[in-house]
Every structure is written in structure tokens, then in C-alpha cells.
Homo-oligomer: A and B are copies of this chain.
């Protein structure tokens, strides 16, 4: 059976963009600058990887893309808010992101902070709206726990704090794993599981998808670290070699390129093994795993 991952991702990204456009407040509504700032970063490009993973997680247990679209958009908003805040002068102080000036370079720091806050808040509104049937209340509860833990101090925010605190210090394997697992893998894992929860996954399926999500999330970040070393700025749409310049804790810095690459491959193999019981419905997730380690940017 043939499966065209590029077509799958392109089609979903288009559907996600349309939905994001509907869910975000219009630029013509006051306060206009806030809504412009929110939309600027949400529509600054990107593969919509996390929304695609929400959909693939749903499909792995028999769910349909349309039924998880608000949640797919919610995780993209959370991802976008985290990029806006991470780019701030007080944090990574980045001027460019995906080839465009960062949010605070265009709108100023105050608006950038507030646009991030508003996107995070709107994300939870979308999670709520994805589950309206009273009978599905426990699914809404479970999705909220999944996403808030992955995004907050036990997950992404905790990882960003560790990342900042380790800058310029000699990194070891344990710290890099902590940072990558929390800062990147947690939300990727939660994206897959949230789609599955909404689609009625069993506890055993959710356990397996937790393994898948953790492995794919870590593999994704390891490849990100590797590409920062091996790809050009043009390929990446952001400054290459920045991790080393900022003395960031990365996989290549601790393990070298080749060991890092093998580790990413092993993680994807682990994800593929955990997906076996799901059968053909998990084909998108399988292929997304392969994509994680074969991508060039």
C-alpha cells in the first residue's frame, strides 16, 4: 500500500491553516495590534508538525481529522506562544525565525509577551470547544491534563528553564536528555496522545502512544541539534550554528554527530515497534517517524 507523506502533510497543513484562520481573532477587531501580533507568528510558516501529529494520533485509533481540528490548532498555538517567548531578548534574544523578524522585533516586547499569553489562553478555549458533548467530559478532562502538563512547569516551560540555566555551562548527557524530553518531546508526545484520547483510545493504546511520542519527540530534537551543525542558515530559515555560539546543551555537543544520529535512528525504530499493534491505521505516524530522521531542515 503506497502512502505519500508529503501529500499527507501538505494537505493537513492547509486544513490546519484554514482552521487557525477561523479560530484566531480577526485583525479588524480591537485590540487590532494584539490580533496582528498573534496572527503574525502563527502564520510565519512552519510544517504544522504538532497538528499533523494530533491527527495521526487520532487516525492510529480510528479517529477522523475533522474531529480533532480544534485540538490540532490548540497545540500549534501553544507551540507558537513558546517560540515568541523564547525569542525575547530576556531569553534567547533571536532576531529572526523562519527567515522573518521575530515577533518582538516587529511589535515590541510588550506586545510579544501579551500575544504569547493570549495564544496560550486561546489554546485552552479551543481544547474546550473540541469536546461539547457532555458525555465526553472525561475525554476533555484527560486532554486538558495531557496538554497542560506537557506545556507547563512539568513539561515545556520546565525544559526551557533548564535550557536557559545550562547555557554556557558544560553539558552532560543527563541534562541534555532532561531538556530535550521536557522542552520538545513533551508537547509532541501530548499532541499524539491528545488526538488519540479524543478518538476513544484505550489505556493500553495510550501507553503505547506515550512511548511513540517520547521517542519521536526526542528523535526530532536530536535531528534539530544535528541540523543546526550540518545545515546552512538558508536551509533552516534561521541562523545555523547558533547552538554552539550560545553554548547550548545539545546532543552533538555531548555525544558527537554520529552517535547522535544513531540514537535518533534507534528512537524511531523503538517508535515503529511500539506502533506495530496498531496496524495499517498507524501508517502516517510510522512515516512521520521516518521523516523525523530523514528531513533536511
Contacts and interface: CB of A to CB of B under 8 A. Distances in A.
Given A33-B161, A35-B153, A121-B151, A128 B144 contact: yes
B161 A148 contact: no
Contacts of A122: 148, 152-153
A276 interface: no
A110 B164 contact: yes
A138 interface: yes
Interface in A77-99: 81, 85, 88, 90-91
Given A125-B149, A129-B145, A31 B90 contact: no
Copies in the complex: 2
Interface stretch (A112-120, A217-225, A234-242, A257-265): A112-120
A30 interface: yes
A154 B125 CA distance: 11
A252 to B, nearest CB: 23
Contact of A110 (B38, B81, B90): B90
A124 interface: yes
A125 B148 contact: yes
Interface residues of A, number: 56
B34 A117 contact: no
A138 B109 CA distance: 38
A90 B118 contact: no
A90 B117 contact: no
Interface string A30-53: 110111001000000000000000
A162 interface: yes
A241 to B, nearest CB: 22
Contacts of A111: 161
Given A111-B161, A116-B117, 4 more contacts: A34-B158, A88-B110, A114-B161, A117-B117
